[in-house]
Structure 1
Amino acid sequence: MKKYSRFLAGVLAVLISAGSTGFYAVANKDDTSANGSSSKASDKDSSEDDDDYKSPEIKKRDKKKSDDTKKSDGTTTRKEETVYVLTDANGTPTKTIVSDHLVNPQGLTSLMDVSTLTDIENVKNDDTFSGSGKEMHWNTSGGDVYYKGYTDAALPVDIKVTYTLDGKTISPEELAGKSGKVTVRYDYINNSTATVKINGKNETISTPFLMATGALLDGAKFKNIEVTNGKIVSDGDRQAVIGYALPGLTSSLGLDEDDDLGIPEYFEFTADVTDFELKTVFTAGTNSFFNEIDFDGIDKLDELEDKLGELADAVDQLSDGSQQLYDGTKELNKGVGDLKDGADKLADGGKQLNDGAVSLADGAGKLADGTKKLDSGAGDLVNGIKSAKDGGDKLVGGFAQVNDGAAQLKDGSAKLANGLGDADTGAKTLDEGAASLADGASKLDEGIQKVAGGSGALAEGTKTLDDGAKTLLDGIKAAKNGSAQLVDGFIQVNSGAANLKAGTAQLAAGLVDADDGAMKLKEGADKLKDGADTAAEGAKTLKDGTSSAKDGAKALADGAKTLEDGIKSAKDGSAKLKDGTAKLKNGADELKSGTAKLAEGIGSADKGAADVHSGAKKVASGSKALADGAVNLNNGAANVAAGSSQLSTGAGSLSTSAGTLSAGITSSKAGSAKVLAGAKALSDGIDTLAEGAADIPEKLNGVSSTLTNAADSLNSTIEYNKQVLAGLQQVYAANPSDDIAAMIGTLQQTIASQEQIAAGLADGSSQISADTTELTNGIASLKTGAASLVHGAQTLDTGLATLDEGGKALAAGAGKLYTSSKTLANGAAQVSNGAAGLKAGSSELLTGANALSEGTGSLSKGLTTASAGAKSVDSGAGALQAGIGQVNAGAAALDEGIGKLSAGSGDLRVGANTLFNGIAAIDTGTTSLYEGIKALSTGAGSLSAGASSLSAGLHSANTGAAALDAGAEKLQGGLGQLSDGASKLDNGLGQLNDGGEKLKAGTGTLASSVTELVAGAGQLAEGSTAVADGAKKVSGGAHSLAEGIAAARNGAVQLDTGIGSLQGGLTQLSDGAYALDDGLGLIWQGGQTLKDGTYTVSTGSAQLLEGAEKLSDGSGTLYAGITTLDDGAAKLKDGSQKLEDGAKKLNSGMKKFRREGIDKIINAYNDDITPLLDRLDALKEASKAYDNFSGKAADTEGEVKFIYETAPVAVDKKED
């Protein structure tokens, strides 16, 4: 028969596969790897083009098969039979029960039937039948008919059960309760045969039946179980043995039993038994599997060889793949455990990172509020400077009028001197008095010269002070812009964090590539941990830096408070200045009135010497008032000198502080570029993370698909088990027993467990899909937050650059202010000296005035000329009066401007306090960030441990570790620069605060001294008025007229000279007023620049807030995704364990199938094909012909299956 063996090998592959599938399904296991799909492998080889090459026998066979296919259309009445056979322990039948199901697809009310059964009983409804045997009619209600009956007809397959104990045959009754090595064998005898013509000869073949037997064994009694033609299935403390056979198939195919092709004819199991006892054993028999096998299209040996070769190759590949699957799932299962641990720690770190991001967002919000208030305060400051500028403009106008009046006064004094020269010849005594007056006037002139010189130096110092104030304001503006230096440090931090993120993204990409080896991933994970540790140290340094920044912000707030107090003091001084100018105006009014009276007095000079004498007394009185004013002037000048000294000291401290501040800003600016680069690198790293994560959904979808397919396959097994369960339930209904009930219960529990597993697989697939979506959304939100953060960092970097320029300008301005303050102090000293000389001169003036009182005479000739001069003096006094009015108005405007400046400084102080609160909030955020990075470091350590388990892959993480290391280095560098910059900023602001306090004290003293100087000037005006009153009545005195006129003439000459000097001093004062006006203009421009800078900082803070909020949202989404990933990892771990178990069984089954099935079949086939095809067709026809057991009506389709119940073997029970 070897000539049939080649084709036979393919047929046996199909039959064995189909038989194994049914057998394993009964065992509740889904070892369907070697399913009978191969049976249809050669369908595609059939085509009309090959008909010419087919033999007549094959064409006839194909036509017959085609005709058979056309018979069934799904509307034919069908009879399904289940035959329940009860046997004793040896397999001998004792009772046969048949359960019939007439399928009525057309809803007929009358059905024809044929049955040899007895005691027929309808088990479903009240439908009745009439007749018997071949003439049965069922009266139905249009539905199916279910009935049962009994028969003693011969069975198509008998079962013979034999028992051996320690190698000797023994009856079941004798075996019960004994111990030893027991073998139980089930032989299946096929009694259903048919005679067919094969190769021109009549031969007998057996109807092909698949028999499957199952028995439950007590695990406590049965040990070391071995099975032939079957397998062992464990069910807790019980063991199930399942076997199968194809009785008669070997002979029907014309094969020798010695060919060892693996077609089983029996089933047996052997075990070491204690107290032998065997529960009920069930056997299922069916021929339906053979009906579905299609041999069409195979007519050449080469075709069969090709198909069998392909089958062998496929089995080899499947076997290799199952081995790889098993190995891979073992590694996967270990790696998933480590992944779960890492995911837990990653979840903890993600939560801390989320908390830190929320704190950062809160701090950024407070910082934005503070910068808004700071911007508002800068606006008020600009408005106040504008008001001061307006007052300066008016002051310039007033000094212009003062200069005009002084010029007219100069002209009048010249005319007065000429008139007194004419009067000199009139009276000798008046001449002598005039001489004394000239001495006093000379000294007065010397004092006035000193005053003029001091006032010039005062004007110069004031201009320098103005320049220094401008530079100071520019420096404050620049200091404000310097907040971007701190941002620079933060950007550097973000740079390192970005590279850190880029490294972790590349590490994640390496995890996907599981074929490249885990050693490099291990190295990368170790470096990741080192980088995280370094990042933690950097975060701690960042926290220290923010603490220093917080202290600096506190010092800034204190400085703002001090500045506000200084401005209040300046406002008080401005008010006093306003009062002084008012008094000056009153004095000017009196001077105007006096000059008018002087003109009138000169006009009535002929009234007599008595009036002259009386006027001389008043001159003496006025001279005394002048001397008193000189004393006050001297005191005020001394105070001015002291205030200037303090101002110089404060300016020196301010210069030092400004230099330190500028150095700190420069150092901070150096770190800013690195921080900005880090922020950009963070954005790039997140993009890389997104690209790497793009492959994750596809991979997870593949896992989800695998789980779904596994669930579908398990559901198919569940459906088959349910069919077996239904059959057992029918057997139990016909013949109840404890053993059947136990088997039904076990099978029900197995089905329930399988359904739970299938549901778990489906849930796992759905959960993986949901986790993938959440992870993708979290990465997208993180990208958005990173982009906003980079934008805000760029804006703040721009502001820091402006701050750096302003810091340098502040340092330069502070130096200039210090130089100017020294000049101012020198000028104040000169003013003080001049005031002392003025005091001495006023004393001598008083002596001269007394002499003038004694020497007054007739002045009629000289008074004519003096009258004209008096008019000029009157005109000049009027101009002086108008100028002082403008000065007064300018002082009022200056006071108003200082008021607004005070309001602006208040807002500045509020803004500085808000800034301090914002930085404090950022400090809190950095603490959370530091804790998050520490948790990340812990998670990285766990990830390193997991990488060690994944030794089969993950090498590409090395690149990510290198990027992480670089990021950590950048992070460390940026934090160091940030710390240095914050420290220098703190020192500079502290020194700036000290200088501001000293500047405040100096300006307060200066304001007070100026007030006293104005008061002295007022008294000087009063004295000049008294002199004018006395001169009006000079004409009334004739006594000592000559001496007095001579002295008066000399005094008038000196007075003219003094007025000239006064005019020069006023010119310098006017120049100083112009310079003050110009300086206020520059201050106003600087204030505008400061306001623009604060607006830029405010805008940058708002953008930083926006970026921080988005980062907070993104970190929250990321944390949710990590949490979901953690849950998914746990489920994946369970699923991977099940996958490993299944892969192990699949690998074992495939090896066995390859070894015991395919290899033997391939070695067995040979040449000829036609006779074998005839045998196969005959077997199929015989199988299809056996479609009932108890009979069926014509034109009714049929199907039959058998269930055998073998009686138990027990000590205390006997078979029924």
Structure 2
Amino acid sequence: MRKKPFTYSALALMLFLPSFLAVPAQAATEGKVASKDEVVYATLDAGGDLNDIYVVNTFEVTHGGKILDYGDFSSVKNLTDLKKLEQEGQKVEMDAPEGKFTYQGNMKEETELPWDVAVTYSLDGKKIDPSQLAGKSGHLDISIDTAENKHTGSVFYDNYLLQVSLNLPNTYENIEAADGMVASAGKDKQITFTVMPGKEKKMSVEADVKDFEFKGVQIAAVPSTLPIDTTGTENMTDDMSELSDAIGKLNTGVADLKSGVSQLNNGAAQLRNGSAQYKNGINELNGSSSQIVGASNSIGEALRTINQSLSANPADMDLSALNELPDGLNQLADGLTQAASGLTSLQANYAQAYSALDGAMAEIPANNLTEEEIASLYKSGADPKVVDKLVASHKAAQKVKGTYANVKEAFAAVGPTLNQVSGSVNEMSSQLTSISTNLSASLQKTDMSGLAKLQKGLGELSANYVEFHSGLVKYTEGVGQLSSSYGKLHAGMAEFAGGTNQLEGGVADLHDGTSKLHQETKNLPDKMQEEINKMMSEYDKSDFKPVSFVSSKNEKVSSVQFVIKTESIEKEEKKEKKAEPKKEKGFWELLMDLFK
């Protein structure tokens, strides 16, 4: 009954032994490779320190045969078939069939990743070692820091984008991740961060955990091929062009404002100077009023004395004293004429100053900036200090214009009043001159026979002079009041002139600021386009040509990717007692079993 199995077993042994003991020699042919892909797998401990690295190398073989690869491997393993790989130093030789051929290379211990990764854990605000964290409960903070490894080349750090992700069970509450995206992934919450090429980043995840376990941090590093849509940049540069044009118009408007304020300041200065002359003149006139009144009073007394003397004893009257009266009247008339001349000159200066002031006020724009327009200025990117000066100057100018509008009627009434007062003084001077002339003529023609007629005329003159003197007193009282009131008006004009001078200085500073702002922003669209291009060149790595991670000698590398993972943090489970393993049979024992 065992003969037949023995026959089959012997036959199998006969077929097996020759193929096992001898391999026919074949001439090796040269293979051809179209491309090579590398996937770098790295495992880290829970704190981010590197444990080991191995690389899966995949070739696209267009013609089967012997191919070479290079890498600083501690060992290699064929993942495609059972053929042995030949390793000599950094050179790996393999007989690859047509199609995809894959082998694994385990990197030597001294190999490092292009990134430094540090993972720290805090529980309830206190740092905790990850080995002590499994099964704990409380408020957990996981911090992940990535930075450039200065001991390696920067080609991967500068061109690769990192996607850092970690999963937490849905049972954990109050999950927060600043700058991270939180999404549901089955029974877990997946938190994902993105680290741009050439950038360091600190990431943090917080949660309230119970009976903590953690699957670890996963990091994928791939070339940055972010699609950057530039269609919207045209609208942005157009907006910047509008802003630049608006700043240019603003600068032109401030220049016009500067010119108008300068005219206003000149007009205010002229007004102040004219007002000072008027004030001095009215003060001098007021100062001489007592002299005029005294002289007039003396003339009145003289007229009454003469009239009484003529009435009491005309025969004994000495007319020589009467001859001095016309001279006194002429002197008084001359004083009034000089006062009228001063008032006329004052009126001319005032009219000139008032005209300059009125013109300067008209130059100030009447349009008031709205709160929305002011807010737009602050949002435009202009220097806030310059905008503050602009707004303050604008408000001051509008206040001055409003104040002037309220007092314009008072300013306008000064000129006609001065004309009226000057005319009245001239009229009084003319009356005194006429009285003096008539009196002098009467005295020259009068003798004792006409004394009665002279007495009558002097009586009428004395009576009329009382009325004239009363009017003169009222006039001097009015001059006194005008002098007192105008002192206050002049003080206001001087203060106004000082304010316009400060305003001119402020607007000049403002114009300097807007000019600089205009110079800095007139090419704003071009500068913005340059920044956009710079940003695109910084993050768009579409022109990056992959290089091998394992050796610079490798060619035709089409892609290199990194898959990095930290160890999980798990609770220890009770180990079940395992049965003693059966001793495996050796080759000869198995061979002998074929004959049983």
TM-score, scaled to structure 1 = 0.24
Q: Which has the higher helix share?
A: 1
Structure having greater relative contact order (Cα 8 Å, sep ≥ 6):
1
Q: Which has the larger radius of gyration?
A: 1
TM-score, scaled to structure 2 = 0.42
